[in-house]
Structure 1
Amino acid sequence: MREARGSRSRRDVRHPVWTWVSTWVPTLLVLALLVAAVGAYRFEWGQRYLPGLAADPATEPEQVLPPAGLELPDWTPASADADPVDTLAAIDPEAVAAALAPDLADPDLGRHVVAAVTSLTPGPAGWSTEEQRYLPASTTKLLTVGAALAVIGADHRFTTRVVRGDRPRDVVLVGGGDPLLASQPLSLTEAATTYPARADVTTLALEAAEALGGKAPVRVRFDDSLFTGPTDNPAWRRDYVPDDIVSPITALMVDSGVEPDGQSRSDDPSLAAARAFAEGLRAAGLQVTGQPRRVVIPPGAEELAAVESAPLSQIGERIIDVSDNEGAEVVAHHVGIAMLETGSFEAGATGVLEALAWRGIESRGDEVYDGSGLSRRNRVSTATVLQLLQHAASPEGEDLRSLVTGLPVAGFTGSLTYRFAEGPAVARGLVRAKTGTLTGVNALAGIAVGRDGTPMAFVLAADRTRPENRYDAQEALDRAAAALAACRCGA
């Protein structure tokens, strides 16, 4: 042992620099690469794999500092004779084509690039590529939220109830399909910065315990029968639910089906919600026996307590802002109930297209299989999306307005917070768009305001990109949208 230590000591003395280099440089390089990777893809990885580094979705939109070097003028009150933005302004198709051409020709976008731009109001001619159908990915959420606002109503709230069961000691948690139902109440600090507000089953348990009174043991049952059919969409990839890409969809979910560890997703979100409710009853001083069980409660059961969600208009804003897959699917199920009296994936997808047609938005030839855009079978025309954006921005579409106000702002909020690092800096704040991303698919759909003040609705998509070019394709579309903001495209 002494000789071995002595030999090692002599090697250290003879090669101190080489030892330091061989030991620490690889480690430092790995750390540097990790830091670079986290910085580059913070939003994409954060919510799923690195939640500590992600922008907190509960507090979006978050404050983002202005870009380096940007000097803002002193604030002055608006003059009484200021000209409003001309929402009726037509666009110059040739100017649009010239602005978009360089970035749409980027080879990283692959073999199928689709683009369309028009004025913010119907009527004036626009510009588009010859091919207009595309795989929409998460831009599908625009259709889902628009349809829900049209047929359910912007002011509608979803109610989660507690009723008496068939047996004297049974209390039943009844799911009302609240997309943002939480397991725990927010702290005062969280509540002050969270939008929209959340209902939660712990507060519901406290109210139910007060209504029950006494200390008699109770048994928890739960009813999630508002939704029917499979909880895993047959039109999704088979690994999405098993690999925790998305939760099973039920009418009784807390925390979007995410387990308390923040990493995995529950195999049975309704059961997980009932367990959280049971813990709330225990915290309120009631004795809870046994395990929660699924039941179906007949109409007319005595209500003990209830909590309501935020209005659908606010829920829709959040779904669009942070691209909430579970929220979009729950809302689509409600569209199915409103249109076809069935809360399922199939009814929701059919109901969305029927609701848009009922509102005068032409969707003939479109194929939609889900509410979130996770399905690779979806095919949508750019004309459908542009009509919906135009309608939501028009005086007649006031009840759909949150479709526009929920759009992420380039470089500042939601799924665009960490994007638009390239291209004209003027795009930051002047492009609002819903993102769409699947393997081989990148899309943007929203509104841009040109350098001359011309507002434009646009759709930009590439749905046959190489996986290794994913982020280069994304940046190419960002540059194209930024080119619209830098363009004097008014007619």
Structure 2
Amino acid sequence: MLNSPISARPGGRHRKTGTTSPALRRALIIAVTAPAVGTILTAPSAFAVDKPVAKTATALDPAEQKIADNLDTRIQDIRLGSTLSGVVLDAESRRVVWGHDAATALMPASNTKLGTATAALTVLGPDHRFTTRAVYGQGTLTLVGGGDRTLTSDDLDAMAKTAVAGLENAGLTSVKVQVDDSLFPEPTLATGWNDGYYPDSVAPVRALVVDGHHVTDTSLDAGGVFAGLLAQRGVTITGDVTHGTAAPGDVPVAQHQSDPLSTIVKHMLKVSDNDIAETLLRMTALGAGRHATFEDGAAVVREVLGRYGVSLDNYEIHDGSGLSRANRIPAQTIADILDVVDDPRHAHALKYIVDGLPVAGEAGSTLGPEWGRFDTADSQCAVGKVKAKTGTLTGAIALSGLTKAGDGRWKVFSFIENNSAADPSAVKDALDGLAATVNGCWA
């Protein structure tokens, strides 16, 4: 059970309460309602948001000065090594409370997902759903992938039931089954992915997958499950399941729509799901009128963040999940993203990112006790009081989020560590302690 839980997201409790400009209102409406969203990124006024207030080193209040002094001391912890990028902002004034090499770009691991989620919700909209279809033509039933990384065998069973009813009405008792995953180009390793990541940490990025299976060809796997469900309902399957492309004249016989994107993003962040992140990167590229590739997806993320006024200095990404060891993002940029998603002006589209951040001590999330998080003498006091995205790769640990500090004001923080010689669990404990320091409970 969480102590002093964060029962509501901090958005709306602070800053930027001025009247939203008509241009911004139009931009948000377009971003979350337009089905043809490729124009979002090309319209000059689409992201006509107020430029961020310059972050200046103004006088700190006593509680903030204590945070800054304590952080200056605690980043000397040997567990953190010598390569750390960190920053703390006051969420209302955007004043810099503390910084240490904040503009230095480091390997961010899964903190990369914050940018992926921001772009997906902006381009596709929080109500967007991914559709998997089954169509029939010329004796073949084709399962067509629509980028739903949450599709389950129960969903396919419901589709099989509907499809069989249609086949029976047409007097058909046998079909060939094929899969169409042409929505995405043939999957390849992203720049910076180790061979060992594929398909264990992340599966090949295809437009069709069932039950989150980590296999080399998720599309054929899903087609095999679908064929088996059809057979259980009395349909004879002729031949093996193969790859193919649905013909324009094929007749729709069944479909399934995913949960809303808002729900998918929250889950993706809570458990740091790499597969969902990579699928969202490709679907976001398509939604912006580009090709469903790593490169175009990364370009769209950059453009969306830039339109929001996020600093892209020294920012480089090659995937959506953060598995790429070639990714480089400064703590300042991560803090800027969090500042944007927590801005009440963007709440309609982006509040789900804050809602999806793991809470310190939350079982089932990447900050849960099962992962050994916030369980030391220094950090236990922050259980239930910190919301943050984790990031973990060999040689890279990150923690970035929000917490209400001792002065009663919300703070945005980002800490990214690279190349520590300490055990990763020890590095995580040290970063949890830094978050508790920002909260002020570790005084």
TM-score range, shorter chain: 0.7 to 0.9
Q: In the alignment, residue 179 of structure 1 is paired with which amino acid? A: R
Q: How does 1:173-252 map to 2 (within 5 A)?
A: 173-182=143-152, 184-185=153-154, 200-213=155-168, 214-241=171-198, 244-252=200-208
Normalized against structure 1, the TM-score is what? 0.74
**Aligned CA-pair RMSD:** 2.3
1:416 to 367, 382, 385: 367
CA distance in 2, matches of 1:172, 1:118: 52
In the other structure, the counterpart of 1:481 is 435
CA distance in 2, matches of 1:338, 1:379: 25
Identity of aligned residues (%): 36
2:88 to 106, 117, 120: 117
CA distance in 1, matches of 2:431, 2:65: 19
Q: 1:357 to 1:465 in 2, by over 3 A?
A: same
CA distance in 2, matches of 1:300, 1:178: 23
Q: How does 1:78-477 map to 2 (within 5 A)?
A: 85-87=13-15, 92=61, 94-121=65-92, 123-132=94-103, 133-165=105-137, 167=138, 169-182=139-152, 184-185=153-154, 200-213=155-168, 214-241=171-198, 244-256=200-212, 258=213, 265-299=214-248, 301-398=250-347, 399-413=349-363, 414-418=365-369, 419-422=373-376, 423-466=378-421, 468-477=422-431
In the other structure, the counterpart of 2:48 is none
Structure with higher Rg: it is 1
C-alpha distance after superposition, 1:280-324 (max 9, x if no partner):
111222111211111122445321111000110110001100000
CA distance in 1, matches of 2:309, 2:248: 36
Q: 1:395 to 1:117 in 2, by over 3 A?
A: same
Deviates more, 1:123-132 or 1:151-160: 123-132
C-alpha distance after superposition, 1:231-263 (max 9, x if no partner):
432431122215x2321110001122x2xxxxx
C-alpha distance after superposition, 1:376-413 (max 9, x if no partner):
11011222222221121112111111110000000114
CA distance in 1, matches of 2:15, 2:375: 28
C-alpha distance after superposition, 1:108-167 (max 9, x if no partner):
1112011101022464344211343221100100110111001110110000001113x1
Q: In the alignment, residue 416 of structure 1 is paired with which amino acid? A: L
CA contact (8 A) 1:339 1:355 kept: no
Q: In the alignment, residue 417 of structure 1 is paired with which amino acid? A: G
CA contact (8 A) 1:450 1:488 kept: no
Q: 1:300 to 1:361 in 2, by over 3 A?
A: farther
CA contact (8 A) 2:68 2:97 kept: no
Q: In the alignment, residue 355 of structure 2 is paired with which amino acid? A: T
Q: In the alignment, residue 223 of structure 1 is paired with which amino acid? A: D
Q: 1:175 to 1:402 in 2, by over 3 A?
A: same
Gaps of 5+ in 1: 1-64, 73-83, 186-199, 259-264
Normalized against structure 2, the TM-score is what? 0.82
C-alpha distance after superposition, 1:357-394 (max 9, x if no partner):
23332324310000000001101122222222112111
Q: In the alignment, residue 252 of structure 1 is paired with which amino acid? A: L
CA distance in 1, matches of 2:258, 2:390: 26
CA contact (8 A) 2:185 2:293 kept: yes
In the alignment of these two chains, the number of paired residues is 385
CA contact (8 A) 1:120 1:389 kept: no
CA contact (8 A) 2:92 2:409 kept: no
CA contact (8 A) 1:385 1:459 kept: yes
Q: In the alignment, residue 185 of structure 2 is paired with which amino acid? A: T
Q: In the alignment, residue 90 of structure 2 is paired with which amino acid? A: S
